Structures are given as C-alpha cells and as structure tokens.
Chain A
Amino acid sequence: MDYSMEINGVVKSYPGSSFILDNIHMQIPYGKIIGLIGENGAGKTTLIQLILNQISADSGNIKIFGMNHRKMEKDIKSKIGFVMDECCFHTCLSAKEVGKILKYIYLQWNNKDFEVYLSRFEIDQEKRITELSKGMKNKLMLATALAHNPDILILDEITSGLDPVVRDDILNILKDFIATQKKSVFFSTHITSDLDKAADIIAFIHKGKLVFMEEKEKIKNTFRIYSCSNEKTDNIKNSEICAKYYENGQWHFLLKNSKSEIIGKEPTLDEIMLLFIKGGR
C-alpha cells in the first residue's frame, strides 16, 4: 500500500520535563482521514510539530511522500496544508493580506480558490483577523491550507472550541477533500464525536505512546468494556486486559480481542480513552 506519510520510531523529549514522545510508528495511507485522539498533553501537538519540522526529533525519521521530511523540506512542505490549534496569523492583518503574503510562498497557490473558500466560509476579506470569531479564524486557516491544492492536510485541533454547526461544516470539507484520490488528512482532536463522523482510521496516543491505530469499524469489533464487582474478576483473562480501573465498588475493564464468554458492551471512543487514561497499563 502507498503511504503519504511514514513515522518511524520517532522519539522526542524535552529537557527538564518527564514527558517523552516514545517510539512512535505510524503509516498514513492515501485516501483516508486519520484522526489522532488523546487527552490534553498526550503528545498530539508534539507529533504534528515534528511532522511539520517545527521541532526536531531525538531519534527516528519521518518520510512524507517517500522523502525524508528534513532533507526535502521545500518540496514536501509545498504539498502540505496545515492548520494549527491557535490562529497563527498576526492579528493586525486581514484575510486578503494573508493571501497576499502566502501567494508568493506556495507555487501552486490559487488566489481564486482562496477567495472562493473565503466566500464559502463567509469571511470578510477586509476585516482584521482580530475582529474574527474563533470559528472564523479556524476557517481562515483552513482556507489558506486548502488554497494551494495540497496532498496532505494536517490539522491540529481544528474543531476545538467551535460550535456543532461550524464543526460539521469543517468535517464535511475534509470529506470533500479526501474524495479526490491521493490525498490524506491527518487531524488531531480530543472531540471523539468528530472522529465518529469523519475519520476512517483512529490513532490513540496516551502519555506519549501510540496505544493503537486501527480502522474505526475494527475498533468496535476489537474492544469490549466489561464492568463487574471484585468477586467476578476471575473470569477475565489477563492477556485480554488493555486497561482497568476500580471505582465506586466496581471494576471496569477494557478488553481486546476477547474470546471468553464474558459479554461486554461495545465501547465508544470516549470510553476507550477514559479507560486508558484512568487505568491504562
């Protein structure tokens, strides 16, 4: 299978901090939306910063379109559209001025497309960014990311802090984007309902480790949640337990590939995250 991006054994730590992004292996196929979930401080933004070469990894390598992302930086970055978690444009600029700056950076920048996106998102081109709402700022960033016809979209918590209507709009845009072949979307979020709507593959990162990366439908078949009292835990095979925690007199287990007779329930992504965060092993 062709991969738009390969992350091989990437490790990143910060001096004076106990956080470490530990040996991440990921392969992003073309034609898919990959949702990266994790709690706050899990390492989602750090991973995206490594992909975008904003920071350097301690070890490991990242290949994008089969090329080393540091050595072939210019060629690669011209094909990446990205959105950061906070509006990264100077607030004294207007949308039009942002377009003026970016059109000389990206060879494939299409100003007409940019204006079409601004019009679709109902962003006033002459308004200063400081006057735009959070949703509008996010949409502006998305417009700049899409206007140069990228092959990969990398989005860091683009739907965070937005109302459901705006979130839905953005997710639909991502689905339209992926409809063209040889495109990929890699977006991070901690809003799991967005992943339910849009993502094809879900990657869960927790405390700097990639816990799993599976197709969304397979996750439902792979995991089970089982809750029981202390006396009934003997039925559970240790090898099937991914996570567990004890609360209010009950044990809560997250089981993987359970072949035992235990009938657990199909977990939501929220429940999977919760179990790993509260009681991961």
Chain B
Amino acid sequence: MLNFLIKDYLLLRRNIWMIVVLTLVLPLIVRLIDFTLPGTISFFYMIIMSPLLTEYSLSMEEEKNADALAYICSLPNGRRNYVYAKYMGAFLVILYCLLVYCGMYFIFYSGKSFYSSTVVKILFCGISLMAVYIPVDIKHGINGVKYIFIPTVLLVSSGPLFFSRLLTDNGWKEAMHYVITKNENILILIFVGVCVYGISAMISIRIMRRKEV
C-alpha cells in the first residue's frame, strides 16, 4: 500500500500544495466573512472540501492514463493495495484537517470549550462522504464522481452564511438541537464511522476485484 500512496503523492505533487494551503486558509476566510461564526463551520468546510478536492484531483490525473490502472491490476496484490491506498490517502487528508483545526482552534477560539460532539459529527460527515465517493470513483471513474463532486461543491459554496442561517433559523435550530442532543454518545458515532469506512472499503475491493481493465 505504501507504494501506491507514494504513487498518489507523486501524481498530485503539483496540486497538493493548493490543497494544503486551502485547508489552512479556509478557517481564516470563514472568520473574515463572519467573526461570530463558530469554528466548527470552518472545520466543516475543511473536512468536506479538502479530501474531496484531493480525491477528485487524483481521479483526474489517473484518467489521463487509463492504461496505468491495467498495469496496477497486473501487479502482485495490485487491486487490493490500490483500494487501500485510496482510503488511507483520504483518511490522511482528514487527519491533516483535524490537526489544522486543532491548531487553529487554539489560536482563534481558545476562550471556548474545545470539546464538542459537533467535531466528531463533522468528522463522521467527512468519512461518510469519502465512503460514498471512493466506491463510485472505482466503479465509474471521473464520469461517476462528478455527480458527487459538483453538487457537493455547489452546496458548500453557497457559503458559511447559508449554514449559519440554517443553524440560527428556529425550525432548523430545533431540529439540529434534537440531532445533537439525541446522539451524545461519541464512541458510538466513532464506531459507526469506522464501520462505514470499513464496509465502504470492502465494497470497493469487491468492485475492484471484478473490474475489467
């Protein structure tokens, strides 16, 4: 798997710096738009956009040479390691976002309580998005994932004000409050997140095993 991670990094090396910078800059942009918005809004953006952009960029690079996938399938354990590398790569990006958020938190939001089940919920959103994205990518390639990428980017691009209005609107606020207080058990959410990711990986391996290249 390490070799395929190296391969992914080498393919993305021209674009990866953009994603690194974007992840760092997003919280600043959110804070500039509205100082009063909670830090979790910027974290939400990071978790959704960074892995999505990374994986989409990777799909676009891989699309440039379809024969490369045929070559990978001819290598020892090629199919399985290719899938593992995709999941590990997305996970590393999510981990990077979490580390950036931790850093940003202590700089900008140190007065407020760090502990928030919302952070775990947002992580769960990111994991779930990747759990859907990667199997579609493996099955259909770039033509399939654009139906996930474009709507997600459009929705997220509607701006942090959209989400803050959702959160402050009374009807939505009650619904969100219900969701947040109903599922306070973080460990269950983490466990479900791991299961979702694992099941997605198993589905992807199955798809890849049967894929004719």
A interface residues, Cβ below 8 angstroms from B: 49, 52-56, 73-75, 77-78, 80, 82, 84, 86-93, 97, 100-106
User: Which residues of B sit under 8 angstroms from A88, Cβ to Cβ?
Assistant: 65, 67-68, 70-71
> From A14, which residue of chain B is reached at the shortest CB distance?
B212
B2 touches A104 (CB 8 A): yes
Once bound together, how far apart are the Cα atoms of A87 and B68, in whole Å? 8
Cβ of B3 within 8 Å of any chain A Cβ, yes or no, is yes
Besides A55-B213, A90-B65, A92-B61, 4 other A-B contacts (C-beta < 8 A): A54-B212, A77-B78, A88-B70, A92-B10
B73's partner among A54, A91, A104 (CB-CB below 8 A) is A54
User: Which residues of A sit under 8 angstroms from B75, Cβ to Cβ?
Assistant: 77, 105
B70 touches A54 (CB 8 A): yes
Cross-chain pair count, CB within 8 angstroms:
75
A77's partner among B6, B11, B61, B74 (CB-CB below 8 A) is B74
Once bound together, how far apart are the Cα atoms of A248 and B3, in whole Å? 60
Contacts A56-B212, A90-B61; A104 near B6 (Cβ below 8 A): yes
Once bound together, how far apart are the Cα atoms of A86 and B64, in whole Å? 13
User: Which residues of A sit under 8 angstroms from B4, Cβ to Cβ?
Assistant: 101
Chain B 199-213, CB-CB to A under 8 Å as 1, else 0, gives 000000000001011
B212's partner among A55, A92, A93 (CB-CB below 8 A) is A55
User: Which residues of B sit under 8 angstroms from A105, Cβ to Cβ?
Assistant: 3, 75-78, 81
A97 touches B212 (CB 8 A): no
Chain B 62-89, CB-CB to A under 8 Å as 1, else 0, gives 1011011011011111100100000000
A106 touches B7 (CB 8 A): no
Q: Secondary structure at chain B's binding surface: helix, strand, loop or mixed?
A: helix
CB distance from A197 to the nearest CB of B (A): 27
Once bound together, how far apart are the Cα atoms of A89 and B212, in whole Å? 18
29 contacts between A and B (CB under 8 A): A49-B70, A53-B73, A54-B70, A55-B212, A73-B76, A75-B76, A77-B75, A77-B76, A77-B78, A88-B65, A88-B68, A88-B71, A89-B71, A90-B61, A90-B68, A91-B64, A91-B65, A92-B11, A92-B61, A93-B10, A97-B10, A101-B3, A101-B4, A101-B6, A104-B2, A105-B3, A105-B75, A105-B76, A105-B78
Once bound together, how far apart are the Cα atoms of A56 and B4, in whole Å? 24
> From A12, which residue of chain B is reached at the shortest CB distance?
B212
Once bound together, how far apart are the Cα atoms of A80 and B75, in whole Å? 9
User: Which residues of A sit under 8 angstroms from B70, Cβ to Cβ?
Assistant: 49, 54, 84, 88
A100 touches B6 (CB 8 A): yes
CB distance from A99 to the nearest CB of B (A): 11
A78 touches B3 (CB 8 A): no
User: Which residues of B sit under 8 angstroms from A104, Cβ to Cβ?
Assistant: 2-3, 6
> From B66, which residue of chain A is reached at the shortest CB distance?
A88
CB distance from B34 to the nearest CB of A (A): 40
Once bound together, how far apart are the Cα atoms of A114 and B182, in whole Å? 59
User: Which residues of A sit under 8 angstroms from B213, Cβ to Cβ?
Assistant: 49, 54-55
Once bound together, how far apart are the Cα atoms of A75 and B210, in whole Å? 19
Once bound together, how far apart are the Cα atoms of A100 and B73, in whole Å? 18
Once bound together, how far apart are the Cα atoms of A225 and B123, in whole Å? 74
User: Which residues of B sit under 8 angstroms from A101, Cβ to Cβ?
Assistant: 3-4, 6-7, 10
CB distance from A256 to the nearest CB of B (A): 36
Residue from the set A75, A78, A101, A103 with the largest chain B CB neighbour count within 10 Å: A101
